[in-house]
Chains A and B, each alone.
Chain A
């Protein structure tokens, strides 16, 4: 098995994507839990809570997607 740059790039892309979804996964889970709890405590505020929740969701999701961009670069640019 030749360990040249292209195979190293593919391996690195897989590892990067795998590690990258740990943090945002935990973060979004905690965020959703707190949002649920807040809505349960005060259902009248559910509009505001939904707004804040979606903002937090998009920001956390973006972190995983930065690693996605790096993985795509590693797959298609490293030869």
Chain B
């Protein structure tokens, strides 16, 4: 990286949050590397926080809810009503998947925005394309599986061809256009889900970290507006974290719904 060569070493140091660092090295089994890195530890930590949040809220539930229970109830109502409610009755099975996805992404991004010293080896798991791709692949597998299960393989494949109102002589040649476009659209859905979350997270973090690096490197009169900018960007990133969690779960619901009702 040419920044390090030209002496911008503090800028490179400020970007330490984007490095995956191994903590416990486990030798590779074939192509699979199961070492415990800081990314893994932060993913476990986010999952633990999500679990503890809902577990304590459920254990301590009283008739007059306190703040934690209110938060858990708001999240649950949001996921069941607003998000999964779009599917209607058949959607009851997906409450927990959508709720988990929404809360996990939101809390992961929030934890990632807390400034932590280098000692804790900070890392935001959602800033890694592998993590977001894994979540998008889970949603993709759920949609394809549900589509095939409800309509049968033949019925689901029929959803990719020309819609049924077209006369048969025209429908055959039109398939040459319809089928590739539909298949590409299907393939694009998990790709766009994962890249959207990944790019939003890493863009926000990069802006904040580069500004911090510049602030540390060239410490002079420019500190005050730069610090103000970093504070405003962090506040904006909190908003973006909620929006991205909401969009990911909303689009997951829309894709699952379109697979369940896969007729044109």
Contact = CB atoms under 8 A, between A and B. Distances in A.
A62 B243 contact: no
B10 interface: no
B124 to A, nearest CB: 16
A54 interface: yes
B-side interface mostly: helix
B192 interface: yes
Contacts of B244: 58
A66 interface: yes
B247 A65 contact: no
Interface stretch (B24-32, B193-201, B217-225): B193-201
Contacts of A59: 247
Contacts of B1: 76
B246 A65 contact: no
Interface residues of A, number: 13
Given A65-B196, A66-B195, A69-B195, A58 B247 contact: yes
A69 B202 CA distance: 9
Size bracket, chain B contacts: 10 to 19
B196 to A, nearest CB: 4
B192 A62 contact: yes
A-side interface mostly: helix
Nearest to B197: A62
Interface in A55-77: 55, 57-59, 61-62, 65-66, 68-69, 72, 76
Contacts of B250: 55
Nearest to A65: B199
Contact of A54 (B196, B200, B203, B246): B246
Interface of A: 54-55, 57-59, 61-62, 65-66, 68-69, 72, 76
Q: Closest 10 CB pairs between A and B? A: A65-B199, A62-B196, A58-B247, A69-B199, A68-B199, A58-B243, A68-B203, A69-B195, A66-B195, A54-B243
